[in-house]
Amino acid sequence: MHGRPRKTAKAEDLVASAAKAEKLRQLQSQLLRNHNDRIYNKEALEICSKLLEVNPEVYTAWNYRKLAVQSNLESCGDHEVVQSIVNQELKIAEIALRRNPKCYGAWQHRKWILNLGSDKADFDQEFRLLDQLLKADSRNFHGWNHRRFVVALKNVKEEEELNFTTEKINTNFSNYSAWHNRSVILSHLMKQNAPGFDPREKVLTEELEFIHQALFTDPDDQSGWFYHLWLLDQIIARDSPFLISSWPAHGTELILSSNTSVKDFQHFESTEYAQDIRALPIVLYFNQAVKGVNSTTVTVESIFTENVDLIWKPLSASNSVEAHCWVTYLNISERDCNSLEPYSIKVSFGNTQGLVSSDGCPLSYACQCEFSLKISPHSPGSCSKESNVNMVHWDNENFSRSEFLQIRPFLMSYQRQKIIANSELLISEWCSETLSREIMLFRKLISEINCKIAKLTLGRLLIARNFILSRGIQLTKNRTHFEETLQLYDDLIRLDPSHIGYYKDQRSLVLMDQVTSDEESLRKHCWLPKELSLTSAGQSVCLRLNKLSLTRIGFVERLLWVNVLDLSHNELQSVEGLEAMQLLSHLNLSHNKLSSMTALEPLRPMISLQALDISYNEIGAHSIDTKRYQCASSPLSHPAGTCGDVQGFEDFDPEEVKLYWDAILIFKHLHLTQLDVVGNPILNEPFSSLMIRLVPSLQWLDGRPAQQS
């Protein structure tokens, strides 16, 4: 057991241990011979029983007994003999469990036997055994798992099991397993709207009062805090997915042009697929990962492309068919660039089945977003990008503030109310009041004692309150507590350095929420670029989130309009989330903590990206970097014989593939004109040469013309 000092063995103990080992080897040899010869007689089973008495962890012995039981049952149909076999196997498993209550093989064998002969099992004896084992160790999760299995097999009422958890918790409120079992039972009862468990608000209020007794009795015990976290999730969570942001937003007026700027219009820099074709992305961002987004479940009405021809793609760093964010592209050809009249485009979904969450919950409402697109006249060839582009500089002197900077047309989050106006997403008064009461309660607690987990819970409550105030309604000034929440996580970083990574991630999300919470906050981080070659984008705004100590990116659903983003001088190890920002053309990730090229995998679907700065990170610093093989594009993540990106290496030297396969898979999808990699250990002459060949559109590499690099 943990914490027990190891004692020096005595001579007689060593002799006994050697004798036991010799006996064990003999029994194992006999078992393997019987197993190989398929001998299932009484003598062979007795040898197996003796072996399991000595060492119940021999999995082969349990599998051998299963084969023996199946063989003996096939050869005998007598009821009494079958009953005898079931009882004998249950007895063998019980002996093993009394020797080792956490033996996986014994629990699985007992479960298998009960499934095989449930009509012949003594369930009263089963519950008596479980009671004895749980009294000896109330947190034995094997016992609790088996109890749930037996309860389901016997059809015991869930209300009775809920009372059982209450008894166990009253006996010892540090019983994590009892709290967990209680959450499982209550989840099912509330979902089924069982009598006495509806409305859920009443049930959750009673459970909060119940858990408070445990939390305030011993605030340092973590069992009750985990249950409180589960209750918090029940208060704010919704099963059904809903749309929280989109681009273009509902009611937006767009001008698609390469050289025009018109006041009060949303502008978009086109992405060129061919000389006479441009692509307009349509982005849908949901509150949770969804699947089934296709031309059947989502209808796009426009003159440019038939709805059935549109292909919706999940924007996710993994190869999953589920994602928070989905995108499709409207191809706009040269012949559409001559009309002066705006075109209306409608996006609707929720009218047909198929679009569901990862748990299978469908949308609870239908939604429609409508925007207009005006294609500005242009001279022949203006749809094409210039053959030469200026190099982008990210120095402070290349950006300026403007008191008259108008960013409201860009703020997608303000359209949220229109998106879900007809949905039933307004937060109940009970939910808001409950969270407010909990916040007051835990503020009082941490004013009396210095409890880490109480501070963490208060931080989570404050985040939850801000979340519900922004869900289903326009962002308002009522969303406060940012400074208080940030201070709580600063305290936790100081008090609990062993979990500093988690605290920094949560702090980063709070900070991102604060920065993007309203127009006033966001305006402080918006700058006008002086030298960026973005004349085709109209009024370009650079969102500068640099030097904020960010370790994680969040709330990108509010930033879908951004085309210039500065995330330099942070502590980012991943850029997950940026894949949703389909308008992003210029991105600065310099001076972060990116350790490998695979950390850039979310950038692969960003077809508009032109300038990327990843200088002064840690790419290539680690001789053994296992994260390289955890990404979705890793060759190790593809089963043998599958197609895909793994087949894209044939044009490269085998030595290049060996060293830079992750860079090849990521950069071959991008159409960059500028790349900065200086300051990373991976940079050398072979790597620079590879980048120039890999990205034909590249004109600037590490501050010099690509041809000279």
Q: Using H for helix, E for strand and C for coil, what is the string for 39-87? A: CCCHHHHHHHHHHHHHCCCCHHHHHHHHHHHHHHHHCCCCHHHHHHHHH
**Residue 164 corresponds to which amino acid?**
F
pLDDT at 277 over 60: no
405 or 172: which leads in pLDDT: 172
In contact, 338 and 218? CB cutoff 8 Å? no
pLDDT band at 257 (very low <50, low <70, confident <90, very high): low
Task: For the chain, give the mean pLDDT.
Answer: 83
* Mean pLDDT in residue range 327-346: 80
In contact, 162 and 186? CB cutoff 8 Å? yes
- Rounded alpha-carbon distances, angstroms, from residue 201 to 17, 71, 190, 191, 197: 60, 54, 10, 12, 9
Query: What domains does the chain contain, in order, with CATH numbers?
Result: 12-156 (1.25.40.120), 241-257+277-376 (2.60.40.1220), 429-515 (no CATH), 525-633+649-705 (3.80.10.10)
* pLDDT, tens digit, 9 for 90 and up, residues 144-154: 999 999 999 88
pLDDT at 535 over 70: no
* Cα–Cα distance, 419 to 30 (Å, whole number): 71
Query: What was the pLDDT predicted at 123?
Result: 85
* Mean pLDDT in residue range 84-91: 89
* Mean pLDDT in residue range 677-683: 95
The least confident of 389-393, 523-527, 628-632 is 628-632
pLDDT at 274 over 80: no
What does the DSSP 8-state code read for residue 427?
Answer: P
CA atoms 19, 20, 23, 25: torsion sign = negative
Provide the token pair at 447: 């004013």
Residue 340 main-chain phi, psi, to 5 deg: -95, -10
Cβ neighbors of 121 (< 8 A, separation 6 or more) are 86, 90, 113, 114
In contact, 312 and 326? CB cutoff 8 Å? yes
540 or 23: which leads in pLDDT: 23
* Mean pLDDT in residue range 36-41: 92
317 or 676: which leads in pLDDT: 676
* Cα–Cα distance, 507 to 515 (Å, whole number): 12
Residue ranges of the alpha helices (H) in 411-523? 416-419, 429-448, 452-470, 482-495, 500-515, 519-523
What does the DSSP 8-state code read for residue 13?
Answer: H
pLDDT at 629 over 60: no
Query: What was the pLDDT predicted at 310?
Result: 94
Q: Which residue has the tokens 């299932």?
A: 40
Query: What was the pLDDT predicted at 506?
Result: 96
pLDDT at 284 over 80: yes
Provide the token pair at 100: 């080792």
pLDDT at 338 over 60: yes
Provide Rg for the chain, Cα atoms.
Answer: 32
Helices then strands (H, E): number in the chain? 19, 20
* Mean pLDDT in residue range 559-588: 94
| Calculated CA dihedral for residues 696, 699, 700, 706, nearest 10 degrees | 70
In contact, 667 and 691? CB cutoff 8 Å? yes
CB count within 10 Å of CB 685 equals 8
* Mean pLDDT in residue range 115-142: 85
Report for 128-132, 179-183, 473-477: range of highest mean pLDDT: 179-183
Closest to 696 (Cα-Cα) out of 676, 672, 675? 672
pLDDT band at 426 (very low <50, low <70, confident <90, very high): very low
Cβ neighbors of 627 (< 8 A, separation 6 or more) are 595, 596, 598, 599
pLDDT at 688 over 90: yes
pLDDT band at 299 (very low <50, low <70, confident <90, very high): very high
* Cα–Cα distance, 126 to 133 (Å, whole number): 11
Per-residue burial over 629-650, b = 16 or more CB atoms within 10 Å of its CB, e = otherwise: eebbbbeeebeeeeeebbeebe
Q: Are strands 674-676 and 611-613 parallel, antiparallel or unpaired?
A: parallel
Task: Give this prediction's pTM.
Answer: 0.84
pLDDT at 615 over 90: yes
Question: What order do you get walking across the sheet with 367-375 strand by strand?
Answer: 266-268, 253-256, 367-375, 343-349, 298-301
* Cα–Cα distance, 673 to 631 (Å, whole number): 26
* Mean pLDDT in residue range 571-595: 95
Burial of 325 (0-12, 13-18, 19+ CB in 10 A): buried
* Mean pLDDT in residue range 686-706: 92
pLDDT band at 399 (very low <50, low <70, confident <90, very high): confident
pLDDT at 681 over 70: yes
Q: How far is CA 619 from the centre of its chain?
A: 24
Provide the token pair at 188: 């099912």
Burial of 29 (0-12, 13-18, 19+ CB in 10 A): exposed
In contact, 565 and 545? CB cutoff 8 Å? yes
Query: What was the pLDDT predicted at 630?
Result: 55
**300 phi-psi bin (left φ>0, alpha ψ -120 to 50, beta other):** beta
The least confident of 164-178, 269-283, 626-640 is 626-640
Query: What was the pLDDT predicted at 35?
Result: 92
- Please report how many Cα atoms fall inside a 13 Å half-sphere around the Cα of residue 658, on the Cβ side: 3
* pLDDT, tens digit, 9 for 90 and up, residues 383-396: 444 457 788 889 98
* pLDDT, tens digit, 9 for 90 and up, residues 96-116: 999 999 999 999 999 999 988
Query: What was the pLDDT predicted at 342?
Result: 84
In contact, 213 and 227? CB cutoff 8 Å? no
* Cα–Cα distance, 480 to 283 (Å, whole number): 29
pLDDT at 407 over 70: no
Query: What was the pLDDT predicted at 62?
Result: 94
Closest to 600 (Cα-Cα) out of 569, 633, 570? 633
